[in-house]
Amino acid sequence: MAGYDEMAPGVFRIRQQVRKGWVPFTMNLYALPGKDGLLFDAGSGTRGAVAHVVRCLLDLEGRTGSRVQQVLPSHAHWDHFSGASALAERHRMTVRLTEAMVPLVRTRACYRAAYREGASALRPRAGAVKEALRSLGGRLMDEAFSLSMGIRAVTGPFSPLAVGDRLETDAGTWEVLAGPGHCDVHIMLWNEKAGILLGGDNVLADITTWLGPPRSDLVAYQKTLETIRELPGLRLILPAHGRPVTDPVKRTTHLIAHRKKRLAEIRDKVETAGPKGLTGRSLVRAYYPRMAPLKRSIAQGWIEATLLYLLREGDVARTAEKGLWRYHTP
C-alpha cells in the first residue's frame, strides 16, 4: 500500500504527513518488524496521522508475518513522541522510553516547562507585568500550535530502555546509541552488520539540524557528529525528515565544518562591531532579512545557542540596552 517503502531489507519507512495546522509537516517513522519489532519515532498525535501509521503497520505485518509491537521516540521533541500513546492503544504496542525522556514527555505541563527558555539570548528579563503578558502570549501560541499539530503527552504505561540496549529484528540487531546535541535526550539506533543508522534529527540530507535553547548543546552536537562519522562500516543514515543520507562520511564532515564556520562567524561579527557591539536581534535579521517572523523565530535558534555558548566561554560579554542584549568583546 502507499505510505511506506522498504529502505533496506527489513527496514520500512512510514511517511507521516500533517497537512493542517500552521505549516505542512512530514515525518519519517521507521518500522522494524521482528522479535523485538519496533517503530522508531511516533510522529504527530493528530487522529489522521495516527490512523495512517496504524494502517501502514497492519499492512506491513501482513506482508512480513512479523509484529511491530513497540514504539520508541528518538528524543523529546513533540514531532517524535506525540503519537506514542495513541499508537500504543490502537495497535497494542508497548511504549519504550529512556529514563532521561520520562520527565520531559509524561505531561503537557512537564513538556512546556522543559522547553521554557530560562535566559533569552536576545533580551533581558523585563518587569513583572511585561513578563507576565509575554508568558500569557506564549501560552496562547503554544496551545494553538499544540491543537493544530497534535502535540500529546506520553501517558499510560511504558517500558524503560537504556543506551547500550540491543533489539532483535528481522533486519538484525540494533544497538541504542546516545546522540545528544540537537536535544539532550536524543538516542539513535545502530545496526553495525548492515551499516545503517537510524539517526533521528541529528543528520539530515538537505538542511542543517535545528539547534537552539534551552535543550540544545553545540559541543555535544559536535561530538555526536564525530561519533557518527567514526561508526565502522556506516553506509546509510535514515533520518527523521527528508531523504536518506547515502554518503554519511561526506555529510557529517560537511556538517562539522559548517558548525565551526558558523561559530567563527558569530564570534567575528561581535569582534568587528567594535566597543559598541551589536544586538542578538540584529544578527538574526542579518541572517534572515526576508523571512516571516514565525519562521524566523524558529530559524534563529542556532544564533541564540551560539551567543549563549560564546558567553559561557568568555569569548563575548553583553550589556542590557533598551530592552535588548548587546554583545561585545570582553
First to last CA, the chain: 61
Region for residue 164 given its phi and psi (left: phi exceeds 0; alpha: psi -120 to 50; beta: otherwise): left
Which pLDDT belongs to residue 147?
55
Question: Three-state DSSP class for 198?
Answer: strand
Which spans in 115-167 are helix H?
128-149
List the beta strands (DSSP E) in the chain: 4-8, 11-18, 25-32, 38-40, 70-72, 94-97, 159-160, 166-169, 172-178, 187-191, 196-200, 236-239, 278-279, 317-321, 324-328
The dihedral region occupied by 200, where left means phi > 0, alpha psi between -120 and 50, and beta the remainder, is left
Q: How confident is the model at residue 120 (pLDDT cuts 50, 70, 90)?
A: confident
Name the percent of the chain in helix, strand, coil, to the closest 5: 40, 20, 40
The amino acid present at 75, given as its one-letter code, is: H
pLDDT band for position 142 (cuts 50, 70, 90): low
**Would you say 197 and 188 are in contact if contact means Cβ atoms under 8 Å apart?**
yes
122 pLDDT tier (thresholds 50, 70, 90): confident
User: All domains of the chain, ordered by start, with CATH?
Assistant: 4-106+152-246 (3.60.15.10), 266-328 (no CATH)
Query: What is the CB neighbour count within 10 angstroms for residue 166?
Result: 11
The answer to whether the pTM exceeds 0.95 is: no
Q: What is the tens place of the pLDDT at every residue in 129-138?
A: 554 455 545 5
Chain centre to alpha carbon of residue 70: 20
248 or 276, higher pLDDT = 248
Average pLDDT, the chain: 90
**Quick count: other Cβ atoms within 10 Å of Cβ 263?**
18
Decide which of 116 and 327 is more confident.
327
Cα 287 from Cα 291, distance rounded (Å): 9
Sign of CA pseudo-dihedral 293, 296, 298, 303: negative
- Whether residue 181 is predicted with pLDDT greater than 80 in this model: the reply is yes
pLDDT (mean) for 200-227: 96
* Contact (Cβ atoms closer than 8 angstroms) between residue 185 and residue 75: yes
Backbone conformation region of residue 237, classed left if phi is above 0, alpha if psi is from -120 to 50, else beta: beta
Q: How far is CA 164 from the centre of its chain?
A: 21
Residue 143 has pLDDT above 60, yes or no: no
Are 287 and 303 spatial neighbours (Cβ–Cβ below 8 Å)?
Answer: yes
Q: In terms of pLDDT, which residue wins out, 197 or 46?
A: 197
| Mean pLDDT, residues 40-54 | 94
Structure-model confidence comparison of residues 140 and 169, the more confident one: 169
Per-residue confidence (pLDDT) for residue 25, from 0 to 100: 75
Convert the pLDDT of each residue in 250-271 to its tens digit. 999 999 999 999 999 999 999 9
In percent, the amount of the chain with pLDDT more than 70 equals 88
What's the whole-number mean pLDDT along residues 222-249? 98
pLDDT in tens, 57-103: 999 999 999 999 999 999 999 999 999 999 999 999 999 999 999 99
DSSP E strand stretches across 91-186: 94-97, 159-160, 166-169, 172-178
CB atoms within 10 A of CB 82: 29
pLDDT at 118 over 60: no
Amino acid identity for residue 93 in this structure: M
The pLDDT value recorded for residue 192 is 98
Residue 220 has pLDDT above 90, yes or no: yes
Determine the angle formed by the axes of helices 280-287 and 301-313, rounding to 10 degrees.
140
Q: Given pLDDT bands bounded at 50, 70 and 90, which one contains residue 125? A: low
Separation of alpha carbons 162 and 320, rounded Å: 43
Give the confidence band of 170 by pLDDT, cuts at 50, 70, 90: very high
pLDDT for 131: 46
Contact 110, 148 (CB under 8 A): no
What is the pLDDT at residue 1? 45
Reported as a single tens digit per residue, the pLDDT across 185-211 is 999 999 999 999 999 999 999 999 999
Specify whether the CB–CB gap between 264 and 272 falls below 8 A.
no
Report the pLDDT value the prediction gives residue 127, as an integer from 0 to 100: 55
